[in-house]
Structure 1
Amino acid sequence: MTVVEGRKLALSNLEKVLYPASGFTKGEMLHYYATAAEVLLPHLRDRPVSFLRYPDGPDGQLFFTKNVPPGTPDWVMTAEVPRSEGPARMVLVQDLPSLMWAANQVAEFHTHQWLAGSPEEADRIVFDLDPGPPATVVHCCEVALWLRERLAADGIEAYAKTSGSKGLHLLAAVRGAPSERTSEYAKALAVEAERAMPRLVVHRMTRSLRPGKVFVDWSQNAARKTTATPYTLRARAEPWVSAPVTWEEVEACGDPAQLAFRAPDIAPRVQDYGDLLAPLLDPERVAALP
């Protein structure tokens, strides 16, 4: 039994290898989340969390958990959230004990673009830039720079992070609009990006359109959708992290390896840069949709 800030936790199977390619164990995963908590928790706080669980590693069974899991400790906070089929309860990861309890489930963290207290209003806009091979994250960077300038023209400041897989995520803090309006705006920019870069960008999900192009996925702004939380580990062959990056790194990227970060890479980056997505949490940096 481990005590975390006064809460007792049964952290299990610490020697279990979750990522065979690198020998990364569950104990190392828990250590990563404990050391990343200072920058991760602010992006989880007050946001209902969905978990993509992979208890036997990325090569085992993967399944989403949205409702509060059975056996959740009574001190883990939850929130009622609206759904088309009726309200449900989801977990809120508010502090280090609840983060470590959740990490012990072996999961990616995914969050909505709204806060638990105001599910009717989006406070984030997100673009998921997904490259269709042979396109790579290098091509995503080109699209990201275009979107950054386009958003800036509307007074919206964008920030980037790796998806922890193949692509990039762009995020911005917004206010004063429901998810439907935010989705409409995001789709309009995705369409505009395709018109500006027709050989590089596609805004539709149709698989046959995507080889060699960057799919600008605007749909994750829908109220029901979630996106990988900043600093979450991903269920991939290696312990890749959805890691914030600087715009200088995006501009200079000429090799996909330059924007690929594993769990051990994050502490040094946080030491050097702090939380690159901290402006998203600053009320003074929030923009209204045009």
Structure 2
Amino acid sequence: MTPITEVEGRRLALSNLDKVLHPATGTTKGELLHYYATVGAAILPHLRDRPVSFLRYPDGPDGQLFFTKNPPPGTPAWVNTTPVPRSDAPRARQVMIQDLPSLMWAANLVVEFHTPQWREDSPAVADRLVFDLDPGPPASVVECCRVALHLRERLAADGLTAHAKTSGSKGLHLLVPLVPAPSEQVSAYARRLAVEAEAELPRLVVHRMAKALRPGKVFVDHSQNAAAKTTATPYTLRARRLPTVSAPVTWEEVAEVGEGSEGGAPDPLVFLMDAIAPRLETYGELLAPLFDPDAAGVLP
């Protein structure tokens, strides 16, 4: 029998709560839902007013994974959707997660949350810039931190303030709050900085995606600034062997890891879901400046 629960006046059918999604840790679907209920106040501002894409992994990360931008079959009428400009589907709509009931409904589908850099009322006008720093083995998050520190200084030279989070996988994401600007302009600027970084740190950075170029280097992925692209939302769980989270980190943590080496702590800057509530208590919302109009920088 599927248990029914009420969240802020909405009745939700939550299924398979005892199902183990991460065998390595024994993490169940019920624990996943508890995580999202606990961090709802932190993740919702990052989801709200943005069309959401889902990477679904209903049988865990070892099962079938599928990415969808369309509202899933059976989406309740009370879950908001919004029209989105898509060349392949002129009348396309996507889900928006505006409140805790919508969050818990989506979490019950077992998903990663992915969002664009723009809001639904201004398609293709970005209010943030993103860099995805992805290490090519044997490079690791250590090298990603070094590149992040370099990009932080470069962005600061243009009056822009970067904030860091883990990808929830091997790398880092940098997020920069912007006075809204066309996605095309943000993309061009991000690409220019990635090319500059490769020129200045040729042994450490590559700006092109080709796998042959990436061993031992950090790929500075600027492409997620394109209007059609999305990035893992802060605080989302990832479909990985362990229940890792795309978690905000302090620049002190980034610097400490960047000064380290491969012989340091195993998997530095990897945070499992149980670590997030204590981190919020300790640090608060490290990405709060993303929502402060006074913290937004003007694109050069």
Q: Which letter does structure 2 place at the counterpart of 1:27?
A: G
Partner residue of 1:148 out of 148, 152, 164: 152
SS in 1 for 2:131: strand
Q: Which letter does structure 1 place at the counterpart of 2:62?
A: D
C-alpha displacement of 1:40: 0.5
* Match of residue 161 from structure 1: 165
C-alpha displacement of 1:175: 2.2
* Match of residue 253 from structure 2: 249
Q: Which letter does structure 2 place at the counterpart of 1:89?
A: R
Report whether the alignment pairs 1:284 with 2:288. Answer: no
Contact 1:127/1:218 (8 A) holds in 2: yes
Partners in 2 of 1:120 and 1:166 — Cα distance?
A: 28
C-alpha displacement of 1:177: 1.8
* Match of residue 17 from structure 1: 20
* Match of residue 90 from structure 1: 94
Deviations 1:66-104 (A, max 9, x none): 011111000001110101122410000010000000000
Q: Within 5 Å, which residues of 2 pair with 1:71-90?
A: 71-85=74-88, 86-90=90-94
C-alpha displacement of 1:159: 0.1
Partners in 2 of 1:144 and 1:61 — Cα distance?
A: 33
SS in 1 for 2:134: strand
Q: Which letter does structure 1 place at the counterpart of 2:183?
A: S
Report whether the alignment pairs 1:237 with 2:247. Answer: no
Partner residue of 1:179 out of 162, 178, 183: 183
* Match of residue 49 from structure 2: 46
* Match of residue 203 from structure 1: 207
Partners in 1 of 2:107 and 2:285 — Cα distance?
A: 20
Q: Within 5 Å, which residues of 2 pair with 1:3-14?
A: 3-14=6-17
Partners in 1 of 2:270 and 2:73 — Cα distance?
A: 35
Partners in 2 of 1:84 and 1:289 — Cα distance?
A: 27
CA RMSD of aligned residues (A): 0.8
C-alpha displacement of 1:176: 3.7
Partners in 1 of 2:102 and 2:236 — Cα distance?
A: 15
Report whether the alignment pairs 1:30 with 2:40. Answer: no
Contact 2:134/2:172 (8 A) holds in 1: yes
TM-score normalised per structure 1 = 0.99
C-alpha displacement of 1:283: 1.0
Contact 1:121/1:175 (8 A) holds in 2: no
SS in 2 for 1:108: strand
* Match of residue 258 from structure 1: 268
Q: Within 5 Å, which residues of 2 pair with 1:211-222?
A: 211-222=215-226
* Match of residue 279 from structure 2: 269
Structure 2 residue ranges without an equivalent (≥5)? none
* Match of residue 70 from structure 1: 73
Partners in 2 of 1:206 and 1:168 — Cα distance?
A: 19
Percent identity, aligned pairs only, is 72
Q: Which letter does structure 1 place at the counterpart of 2:119?
A: L
Runs of 4+ displaced beyond 6 Å = none
SS in 2 for 1:48: coil
SS in 2 for 1:126: strand
Deviations 1:265-284 (A, max 9, x none): 00000000111001101111
SS in 1 for 2:186: helix
C-alpha displacement of 1:285: 0.7
Partners in 2 of 1:151 and 1:79 — Cα distance?
A: 33
Q: Which letter does structure 2 place at the counterpart of 1:151?
A: L
Q: Which letter does structure 2 place at the counterpart of 1:92?
A: M
Partners in 2 of 1:8 and 1:64 — Cα distance?
A: 26
Q: Which letter does structure 2 place at the counterpart of 1:2?
A: T
Contact 2:141/2:268 (8 A) holds in 1: no
Partner residue of 2:124 out of 108, 120, 123: 120
SS in 2 for 1:288: coil
Contact 2:205/2:219 (8 A) holds in 1: yes
C-alpha displacement of 1:136: 0.1
